[in-house]
Structure 1
Amino acid sequence: MAKIKGFKGIRPVIELASKIAALPYDVMDSDEARERVVGNKYSFLHVDKAEIDLDKDIDIHDKRVYEKARDNLKEMIDKKYFIQDKSDCLYIYRQIMDGRAQTGLVFCASIDDYIDNVIKKHEFTREEKEQDRINHVDYCNANTGPIFLTYREDEIISAVINAWSNREPEYDFYAEDGIRHITWVIDNPIIVREIVELFKGIKYMYIADGHHRTASAAKVGLMRREKNPDYTGEEEFNYFLAVAFPDKDLMVMDYNRVVKDLNGHSKYEFLERVSEKFNIEKCKNNDGFKPTEKHTFGMCIKGEWYKISAKEGSFNENDPIKRLDVSILQENILTPILGIEDVRKSERIDFIGGIRGIKEINKRIDKDMQVGFSMYPTDISDIMAVADIGKVMPPKSTWFEPKLRSGLFIHHL
């Protein structure tokens, strides 16, 4: 049973929403963030990546970075770039990319649901990345970017959300990447209570993106509980900012791989080894091959493209993890042939999000790689199946687009 609640959202004044809204902190480095804010003093990157307003020599995990984030957020609120709703509200957040819409509900989720695995995980987290966001949330005393959740669609919840979204939106703008962002404020307390009650019928929610931010938000909540032993459980620090989309709305994009060398094999030897577990078909042109079904891959070797299909017996269709294409590639090519045991640590492999297209694989092959693989996207049902058995997805399995914008909703602790 999922426990959600409304909150008094801190959000941009209408005329500044498009200027404030920014891509998440973890999709760019500091230098790129500095470039993005040129001429835009309103960008929320001044909060989420506050190092851009400090000397470049300062470490991004220095205490001064978190202090600057806190100060920048306070200044933006004091200057009335933001307003705060006077009652607990829920919010609808719709994104439209290439004609495809995904519509989510913005709310506060319970840290206990995360701890008790009502909100399920499918990735490991790293302590140093958690600590960065713990510091950021703690210093800012706020969740500044929503966690990206999903759930198995509930028709009644969808009907209520769709009915409200027939009203005039609060924000409606196109970001610089062409993605449209539309939001509505659900400020009717009766509708808020109805949706909160309906979510009690949702057995599980799943983290689609934002595992480190979720873990960090929960740990900040636990820290606050230690400082307030008489807490009731209803304080704001017991909750974190989230937006949940029904599973049918989401599209997972491919997450492709490129490798620097053939691990000592000649091209002929490599193809011979691959043919043991895959059917190989040379493509008629070398522009690229984008798989259209599971268990098929595009493979580019030194500029030549092949379609490869996993042979029967090369994977276990009954195992939620081993049947994933990322696992099939890892266990049949990357590890035994190319000698890459751990893709998280190897410097011989790199990853290309599907948003960058097949052309990026060709570009890397021309530049610094010898072999590339185009993948069929992981399905959202596969992510849920892995999370349901308490396991984690292989590294670099999913790439979600569009990315949620930070700065549209802030939850004060």
Structure 2
Amino acid sequence: MAKVKPFRAIRPAPDKVAHVTSRSYEVYSKEELKAILKFNPFSFLHIINPGFKFHKKVSGAERFQLVHNRYMEFLEERVFIKEKEPSFYLYQIKKNDFSCCGIFCATSVADYRNNVIKKHENTIESRERLFAQYLDTVKFNAEPVLMTYPDHPTLAGIISKTKKEDPVYHFTTPDRTTHFLWKISSSEAVRSIEKTFSEMDSLYIADGHHRSSSSELLAQWHEAKNPKHNGKEAYNYFMSYLIPESEIRIFEFNRLVKDLNGHSKESFLVKLDELYRIKKTDTELYKPTKKHHFSMYLDGDFYSLYLRKNVLPLEDPLSKLDTHILYKTILEPILGIKDLRNDKRIQYGYGKHNVLRMKTEIDKGNFKVGFNLVPITIAEIKAIADAQLVMPPKSTYIEPKLKSGLTIYEL
């Protein structure tokens, strides 16, 4: 049974929210980051880039402490305010043809330990430990873990009713995304949300595996040094954003490889022919349409690759996954790429125009061959997680991508 609970959020003052929230730190260019830090004193980026105030680069424990200091300043200056009562927060995002609406809440570390909260990616121990140390110093969650749940009529009803009320926030960001936030604090609605999730067997992590695992590690540390530990402490939970499965959007990552591992074009195609039916296409930008079907761009031409029957045992959810099939049939045995995460010969692309970008990069000579796949489905993600298996790196690019600093959970 999944345990979720309301929390007293730290959140931006309503007149400043559009200036405070930020995208993930890593997506900003150096120029964009510098401009925001220079001209927007309310940006959450000042908190996670605290050295800007002192015109110096900071790292490690020094940076962590300065992040905490900047956060306390935002509280003291009333850029952030603290809720008086625990609440759930309904958050809706609208952009072009995409919309989703979900619930900010506190989710249980115990559920993560016990595989009620299910994962489909491996985490790196050094990153877990570093982020746990960060959380231990700064004492807040500002980036929620994205999780999905099966569409449920009770939750849909609460969401529909809440959206008829005036939102706490309604603002649009420069990327033309519109954001809405509502508080859910009535005892009846809170109990109904808690009860509905408690009847669910599982929640599934879509994005935020390292944030989840680091929160679990942090809880281990605090439990070990707290003789009065009772399971109700703030460190036993971490902030998540829960959305219905039907509202998540999944894109594929393509694969671009710098060389053919010593093969000529002709010998490479002969190798592929052992496992795939190969057909050169006349389409300018060719994308696959079915599972176990890949698009390949090589030497100015697109090819369709159809996996031949019975060439691979498709016995479990991982073996049936297209990213795994591509790795086991082409990337590892033919192109010699064993480490998908660290091999410098392979790069990844995602998004609406990724086939065009793939073609452009290969035409420029930056890469030799590229592969495009159909997106993985939420059903495949759940099957992998249920079987306690792990997807290959860069199997999914998932939306929504959430803002930092919209709601904060204090540890």
Regarding TM over 0.5, the answer is yes
The change in CA–CA distance for 1:71 and 1:183 in structure 2 (over 3 A counts) is same
Check if 1:45 corresponds to 2:77: no
Change (3 A) 1:255 1:74: same
**Higher alpha-carbon deviation: 317-326 or 23-32:** 23-32
CA 1:338/1:209 → structure 2, altered by over 3 Å: closer, same or farther?
Answer: same
What is the CA distance between 1:204 and its match in structure 2? 0.4
Aligned AA (1:340): I
Aligned to 1:202: 200
2:78 pairs with 1:80: yes
Q: d(CA) in 1 for partners of 2:124 and 2:31?
A: 23
Distance 2:311 2:121 in 1: 25
Q: Is the partner of 1:15 in helix, strand or coil?
A: coil
Match of 2:21 in 1: 21
User: Mean alpha-carbon deviation: is it higher for 142-151 or for 24-33?
Assistant: 24-33
Distance 1:290 1:44 in 2: 39
Aligned 8 A contact 2:261 2:335 in 1: yes
- Report which stretch shifted further, 195-204 or 166-175: 166-175
How many Å separate the matches in 1 of 2:140 and 2:181? 20
User: Aligned partners of 1:8 and 1:106: how far apart in 2?
Assistant: 11
1:143 aligns with 2:117: no
Residue 270 of structure 1, CA deviation: 1.2
Identity of aligned residues (%): 34
* Paired residue type of 1:242: S
- CA distance in 1 between partners of 2:113 and 2:295 (Å): 40
From 339, 343, 357, give the equivalent of 2:340.
343
The CA RMSD measured in Å over matched residues stands at 1.9
Per-residue Cα deviation, 1:187-206 (whole angstroms, up to 9, x for no partner): 21221122111110111011
Deviation of 1:363 after TM superposition, in Å, equals: 2.6
CA distance in structure 1 between the aligned counterparts of 2:26 and 2:406, rounded to whole angstroms: 17
User: Per-residue CA shift, 1:211-267, capped at 9, x if unaligned?
Assistant: 111111122222222232212211212111111111111111111110000111111
1:178 CA drift (Å): 2.4
Contact 1:314/1:332 (8 A) holds in 2 = no
1:91 CA drift (Å): 0.5
| Partner of residue 353, structure 1 | 350
CA contact (8 A) 1:355 1:401 kept: no
User: Unaligned regions of 5+ residues in structure 2, if any?
Assistant: none
Distance 1:303 1:55, change over 3 A: farther
State the secondary structure of the residue aligned to 2:295: strand
Contact 1:93 1:182 in 2 (8 A): yes
C-alpha contact (below 8 Å) 1:143/1:217 kept by paired residues: no
- State the Cα distance separating 1:353 from its structure 2 match: 1.9
Whole-Å separation in 2 of the counterparts to 1:215 and 1:30: 29
TM-score (normalised: structure 1) = 0.94
**Equivalent residues of 1:301, 1:371 under 8 A apart:** yes
**1:117-162: per-residue Cα shift (whole Å, max 9, x none)?**
1111111111221123212211111111111111222222222222
Give the aligned partner of residue 297 of structure 1: 294
